[in-house]
Amino acid sequence: MAKEQGFFSVVKRVAALALTVGLVASIAPALISLYLANSQSIKEEQHYAEVLATEVLRRSDESSRQIIAAIDTLQNLDPAHPCSAVNLKAMADIDSASPYLQTVGHVRNNYLECSAYGLHGERFPVGAPDYISGNGYATRINVELPPGSGHFYAMSEKGGFAAVVHRGLSTEVFVDDPGIALGSFARSSKKTLLSRGPFDARWIDRLGERERVAFWGGDYTVAIIRSTVGDYASYAAIPARQLALRQQQLALRMVPIGVLCGLVLALIIWRLAVAQSSMPNQIRAALRRNEFFLQYQPLVELQSGRWVGAEALIRWRRSDGEWVRPDVFIPVAEESDLILRLTERVLQLAGNDMKPVFARYPEFHVAINVSAKDIESPQLLPALGNLLQDGAAEPHNIVIEATERGFLDAEVARSRVTALRAMGCKVAIDDFGTGYSSLAYLEKFAVDYLKIDKSFVDTLGTDAPTSQVVRHIIEMAKSLNYLMIAEGVETGEQASFLRAHGVQYAQGWLFAKPMAVSDLLNQLATKA
């Protein structure tokens, strides 16, 4: 027996598909959010570096302006007597008007002779300039004033007049990580001016002629902004650990959102997958791919043991070899109009299969199962008509099996059954006794057979209270003159009982299981 497939393996198949897609759908947004968290934190980190560099530049520019203004004013003083009382008074005035400047003074031969503080009798050595810019400003970036005091300053000088600023002036910006490097560098000489923390000379090239840049410079997130006041640019460099920290924090916020989005997406995909691979869709596909075929279970005349007919039972074998049971797909098909297409297919298949059988055994019949929808549908009679016109069968070769449910609308049922019998076909009530027991229709119109349901046959020879029902059904059928067919006969005792009580026909594993039409034809040679 081929492996049989039920509802649960259909579910498994769908679940596997949806799970795969769902996993991808839920992981992808998580990865995307991780990626976004990373690129977003790089952006934010570069922005922070720019904010810091802007502040350093603002302070540098302001002190540059004050230095330039002070030195410009100092140029007007008498250069012959730079440290005269008048000049010293002027220096003191400039100094108090320039909050960024520590002091202003005069330098000769690398010595500070006097300043806004007065004459320096001993003259303070300031060393040679670190560099001299194109427009004649000499810059010393590390001058200790007074010597031995441990206080270091930067000094700009032109024509002997100098302005002194505190070394930390432009870089003492509040930062939350002491590892952050801040400072300025001269663009033409590429020398660092006031700065704190490490500086990589290669960063300068990244700026080029641009006004500002922000980039990932190896171990630092760097921002550089060019001054519009002087020949320098200010920078801020934030160590890598800050970026990692920011990425972590952002990921902690964004990844859960990504995962949530992923789950929602997975749910949607799951729903779509379930809908797509829903049973109705699978049945449609199976119809297209011709995956349905019929098996035939012989109907045995109990007195003689002869096979007088066979019930066509639909089978569905999927392309991968799995079988889907009719109990699984027939009820689904009955919920939609798909059952009409299935019945149509069954009629076609039965017509083809049975043609050689009827050719050899003209009295043999095939029983076709129809649903309530088929009974109500105007398609049933034309479809049967086609079968008969093909010459595949004569009307008496066909038995229509309908359950009591098919007769719920007594008026429609009456007209259909009447029409079927008028054509010469036979009608059987399937699963008799299990249905709605509205036996009223039995008075309104006649059928040919009652099929006693397997559940009653099963009770024969047991003490089950329902075992009496079979006797009643038999009595009733006899009084109405109906032929009886017992379903699901599995034991010789059941067969003997039924035979003894006048049941004419039986079906069941005791005699034969459903089989392919070729087997039926072979066995009919001895059984017909």
Binding site for Ca ion (CB under 5 A): 369, 401, 430-431, 487
Q: How far apart are CA 430 and CA 169, in angstroms?
A: 102
Query: Which 280-299 residues touch ligand C2E, going by CB under 6 A?
Result: 297
Q: Please, are residues 404 and 432 in contact by the beta-carbon 8 Å criterion? A: yes
| β-pair type (365-370, 398-403) | parallel
Q: Contact region for ligand C2E (CB under 6 A) — 79-87, 208-216, 325-333, 419-427?
A: 325-333
Q: Is 508 in the site for ligand C2E (CB under 6 A)?
A: yes
Specify the residue, 213 or 460, whose C-beta has the smaller distance to ligand C2E: 460
CA atoms 497, 498, 502, 508: torsion sign? negative
Q: Is 494 in the site for ligand C2E (CB under 6 A)?
A: no
Q: Is 313 in the site for ligand C2E (CB under 6 A)?
A: yes
Is 304 exposed, middle or buried, given 0-12, 13-18 or 19+ CB atoms closer than 10 A?
Answer: exposed
Name residues whose C-beta falls within 8 Å of residue 453's C-beta, 6 or more positions apart in sequence.
431, 432, 433, 434, 487, 488
Checking phi first, is residue 148 left (phi over 0); if not, alpha (psi -120 to 50) or beta?
Answer: left
Q: Is 314 in the site for ligand C2E (CB under 6 A)?
A: yes
**Per rule CB under 6 A, count of chain residues that contact ligand C2E:** 21
Name residues whose C-beta falls within 8 Å of residue 456's C-beta, 6 or more positions apart in sequence.
433, 466, 467, 469, 470, 473
Q: How far is CA 225 from the centre of its chain?
A: 44
Angle, alpha carbons 101-107-109 (nearest 5°): 150
Specify the residue, 312 or 380, whose C-beta has the smaller distance to ligand C2E: 312
> How is residue 217 written in tokens?
């410079």
DSSP 396: G
Q: Contact region for ligand C2E (CB under 6 A) — 176-184, 388-396, 404-412, 508-516?
A: 508-516
Tell me how far, at minimum, the Cβ of 512 lies from ligand C2E, in Å.
9
Q: Contact region for ligand C2E (CB under 6 A) — 179-187, 275-283, 302-310, 366-374?
A: 366-374
Strand arrangement of the beta sheet that strand 131-132 belongs to: 118-125, 111-115, 101-108, 161-166, 152-158, 138-144, 131-132
Query: Which 211-240 residues touch ligand C2E, going by CB under 6 A?
Result: none
Q: Is 369 in the site for ligand C2E (CB under 6 A)?
A: yes
State the binding partner of 490 from ligand C2E, Ca ion, none, CB within 5 to 8 A by kind.
Answer: ligand C2E
Specify the residue, 267 or 313, whose C-beta has the smaller distance to ligand C2E: 313
State the binding partner of 326 from ligand C2E, Ca ion, none, CB within 5 to 8 A by kind.
Answer: ligand C2E
Q: How far apart are CA 344 and CA 379, in angstroms?
A: 9
Q: Is 122 in the site for ligand C2E (CB under 6 A)?
A: no
- Select the residue interacting with ligand C2E from 28, 34, 330, 528 (CB under 6 A): 330
CA atoms 388, 393, 399, 402: torsion sign? negative
Specify the residue, 170 or 369, whose C-beta has the smaller distance to Ca ion: 369
Q: Contact region for ligand C2E (CB under 6 A) — 22-30, 204-212, 265-273, 365-373?
A: 365-373
- Select the residue interacting with ligand C2E from 326, 386, 395, 491 (CB under 6 A): 326
Q: Is 395 in the site for ligand C2E (CB under 6 A)?
A: no
Tell me how far, at minimum, the Cβ of 408 lies from Ca ion, in Å.
18
Q: How far apart are CA 375 and CA 400, in angstroms?
A: 10
Q: Please, are residues 238 and 203 in contact by the beta-carbon 8 Å criterion? A: no
Specify the residue, 95 or 401, whose C-beta has the smaller distance to Ca ion: 401
Q: Please, are residues 447 and 482 in contact by the beta-carbon 8 Å criterion? A: yes
- Select the residue interacting with ligand C2E from 22, 406, 433, 488 (CB under 6 A): 488
x-marked contacts with ligand C2E along 426-465 as a string, rule CB under 6 A? ----xx----------------------------------
Which of 227, 182, 180 lies closest to 207 in space, CA to CA?
Answer: 227
Specify the residue, 130 or 430, whose C-beta has the smaller distance to Ca ion: 430
**Binding footprint of ligand C2E on the chain (CB under 6 A):** 297, 312-314, 325-327, 330, 346, 369-371, 430-431, 487-488, 490, 507-509, 514
